[in-house]
Structure 1
Amino acid sequence: MSYKGSVIITGGTINLGYYAALEIARAHPEYLVVISSRSDKEHAADTINKTLGQANTIYIPLDLASLQNVRQYAEDWAAKDRPPIHALLLNAGLQFPGPVSKTVDGLESTFAINHVGHALLFHLLRPHLAANARVVVTSSGTHDPAQTKNTFPHPDYISAEELAHPTTSAANPGRQRYAESKLANVLWTYALHRRLTQRAAAESGIAVTAFDPGLMPGTGLAREANPVARWVWLHILPRLIPLMRLLLSPNVHTAHESGTNLARLAVGPEGEGQGGKYFEGPKPIKTSPASYEEAKQEDLWRWTVDYLARNDEEKERFEQLK
């Protein structure tokens, strides 16, 4: 079948990403919907196709913890000559609550998966984005101390280099590193938006937004936690969502609810003309004061491009968004 366009969703095999993929495939049978994670043990693509009576969802493996794997993914995409990408959902994320963990590239794992791998994927797929494509970065309210009300360690952005190769440890290092990676998501969104609107790339109409799905008990985010915490997260807290909304925050949702919001932002009218904004569920809100600091945005952008580019030609291409 010939498709009019493509949608790529990282982390699309379970929970938030799965439901976003399901709703996008339902709304746009004319799109090729691609879900990409390290594995698809749940056979998510087949399940979506069977549920909808369609065949437009496929699975392509992607390991964001390996920059070589990300490059291979992009090379394979180009070689297949697939239809232009109308929406790129940089959604996959992990939290490592224990001691510092590092990827095969020597990067701190949380920052590597939640930011660095996604940034490389964007730059490599940039030539394949359709005119007026949307890029949606899944962040989190944990980036903003005002939103978490002291229930989560506050992010302390020193530099991108410190996030990539940490030299210090916090009282709750894993959770704090997660909050910092989510702040990096917002900083990078704003830095990319500024470049998209100020440079020749603005002619393409590409728009980038950040998205906070809210707290989603029962999802795979806690899969690296200890067994007791993981059991509570998976089996107890999902039953308490109504109570948590009342006592903790209205920004507590099921994965299906948040997946639907993400899908609407990616391909629905709700996301049209919303570049450079941060959405909490279906509505745009202000982000943390730190996220608006241009010096932090530029530090992250410069480090990311310098680290990822293999040579001067690629560095210029990444910087110019070509």
Structure 2
Amino acid sequence: MSACILVTGGTAGLGYHCAIALARQYPNHRITIASRSDTQDAAGSINRLLGQTNVQYMRLDLSSLSQTRLFVKKWVENNNLPITHLLFNAGLQFPHGVSYTEDGYEKTFAINHLGHALLFSLLTPHLAQTARIVVTASGTHDPAQKTGMPDAKYTTAEELAHPSGQALHNPGRQRYTTSKLTNVLWAYALERRLADLRSDPNQGRNWTVAAFDPGLVPGTGLARDAGAVMRFAWTRVLPKVLPVLRALVSPNIHSAEESGRSLAWLAGDGKVIGSSGLYYEGRKDIKSSEESYERAKQEDLWEWTVRNVAEGPEEIALFSLKTLV
């Protein structure tokens, strides 16, 4: 093996199909698919499908900061290869009342943003000199797209992490769309810092980042915490009527395989991996929401995240990308 690729949420849905495409494209890379469980032996099924042995599973619980740190500890112990691709694809929504992680953070924000941000920060010393980071966001973050989901509403990172007052009554689907907005805000804040690294000849690092909207992808595990009727429609009915949905609702509706291949394309196609700081709807770069370009919100999210996940001054400096070891 020559290098490593990490795909969170890679055991099912579009992440699984993305892992297949990347394993086929990079047979000499170790492809790690990470999620809370792999009950269907996704890694084994990909290896059997391709007649390869380069896909492995590692358990990752993004809702827990300590478990995320443990994942990286095991990663470093078991992998001595540089990481060329980081795909932050895992995500959940909790449609009912506010739920909290063991660390005391609202779960949607913690899993969809905070865990991934910590994972990136801990893995930066292990990235290859040229590396690609792709963050799976969602078109639902943009009110102009009129997706039918509640409009995203970013106040402060602290308010998203520890809702209070009226925010405690925000619908779970709005917490989801706002978490997808944080994905885009974080990607843009990261790009400014990566641009500084790329311009520094002493660093020698060519790291790029992109945000990705997979479209509406029925059949994925996103609705696992929804009611029984919604879960049945999402997993059993809607995947069978995609052409009708595209005609009546939106052309940005895809199967998990279609969106997975697009995610792999954005991560590994030579025509786009040199671009950075862009937002893609499938394979087309488009403008994200107006709010996502507000630098004050990008920086509020970035700085709050570093302060709350870093342990001590050395990690603060590393996580801020001011020092790299």
Q: How would you bin the TM-score normalised by the shorter chain?
A: over 0.9
Does 2:205 align with 1:204? Answer: yes
| Alignment partners' CA distance in 1, 2:275 and 2:251 | 23
| Alignment partners' CA distance in 1, 2:126 and 2:272 | 20
* 1:280 to partner: Cα distance: 0.5
| Residues 98 and 168 in structure 2, CA contact (< 8 A), matched pair in contact too | no
Aligned length: 319
* 1:171 to partner: Cα distance: 6.3
| Aligned amino acid, residue 116 of structure 2 | H
Give CA deviations for 1:201-221 in whole Å, capped at 9, x if unaligned: 973000011001000011110
The corresponding residue for 1:163 is: 160
Does 2:155 align with 1:154? Answer: no
* 1:80 to partner: Cα distance: 2.2
Q: How does 1:176-187 map to 2 (within 5 A)?
A: 176-187=174-185
The corresponding residue for 1:310 is: 311
Does 2:293 align with 1:292? Answer: yes
* Range that drifts further, 229-238 or 269-278: 269-278
Q: TM-score, normalised by structure 2?
A: 0.96
Q: Against the structure 1 CA distance between its residues 75 and 171, is the aligned structure 2 distance closer, same or farther, given a 3 Å change threshold?
A: closer
The corresponding residue for 2:30 is: 32
The corresponding residue for 2:257 is: 256
* 1:159 to partner: Cα distance: 0.3
Unpaired runs of 5+ in structure 2? none
* 1:315 to partner: Cα distance: 0.4
* 1:271 to partner: Cα distance: 2.7
The corresponding residue for 2:53 is: 55
| Aligned amino acid, residue 93 of structure 1 | G
2:135 alignment partner, SS class: strand
Runs of 4+ in 1 over 6 A off after TM superposition: none
Q: How does 1:1-322 map to 2 (within 5 A)?
A: 3-149=1-147, 151-167=148-164, 168-169=166-167, 173-199=171-197, 200=200, 203-319=204-320, 320=322, 322=324
| Alignment partners' CA distance in 1, 2:169 and 2:123 | 38
* 1:267 to partner: Cα distance: 1.5
* 1:198 to partner: Cα distance: 2.0
Unpaired runs of 5+ in structure 1? none
Q: Against the structure 1 CA distance between its residues 224 and 121, is the aligned structure 2 distance closer, same or farther, given a 3 Å change threshold?
A: same
| Residues 170 and 176 in structure 1, CA contact (< 8 A), matched pair in contact too | no
Q: Against the structure 1 CA distance between its residues 321 and 262, is the aligned structure 2 distance closer, same or farther, given a 3 Å change threshold?
A: farther
Q: Structure 1 vs Structure 2: percent identity of aligned residues?
A: 53
| Residues 219 and 234 in structure 2, CA contact (< 8 A), matched pair in contact too | yes
Give CA deviations for 1:124-173 in whole Å, capped at 9, x if unaligned: 00011111100000000010001135x11001100000110011337651
Give CA deviations for 1:294-316 in whole Å, capped at 9, x if unaligned: 00000000100000111111101
* 1:82 to partner: Cα distance: 2.5
| Alignment partners' CA distance in 2, 1:179 and 1:285 | 18
| Residues 139 and 185 in structure 1, CA contact (< 8 A), matched pair in contact too | yes
| Alignment partners' CA distance in 2, 1:114 and 1:187 | 13
1:231 alignment partner, SS class: helix
Give CA deviations for 1:97-137 in whole Å, capped at 9, x if unaligned: 00001111110000000000000000000011111100000
* 1:321 to partner: Cα distance: 5.7
* 1:244 to partner: Cα distance: 1.1
Q: Against the structure 1 CA distance between its residues 172 and 132, is the aligned structure 2 distance closer, same or farther, given a 3 Å change threshold?
A: same
| Aligned amino acid, residue 252 of structure 1 | I
| Residues 17 and 259 in structure 1, CA contact (< 8 A), matched pair in contact too | yes
| Alignment partners' CA distance in 2, 1:172 and 1:120 | 26
| Residues 186 and 291 in structure 1, CA contact (< 8 A), matched pair in contact too | yes
| Alignment partners' CA distance in 2, 1:265 and 1:131 | 19
| Alignment partners' CA distance in 2, 1:229 and 1:40 | 24
| Aligned amino acid, residue 152 of structure 2 | P
Give CA deviations for 1:66-98 in whole Å, capped at 9, x if unaligned: 100111111111122431111000110001000
2:238 alignment partner, SS class: helix
* Range that drifts further, 163-172 or 275-284: 163-172
Q: Against the structure 1 CA distance between its residues 37 and 97, is the aligned structure 2 distance closer, same or farther, given a 3 Å change threshold?
A: same
Give CA deviations for 1:250-290 in whole Å, capped at 9, x if unaligned: 11000000000001111122432221001110111000000
| Aligned amino acid, residue 273 of structure 1 | G
1:217 alignment partner, SS class: coil
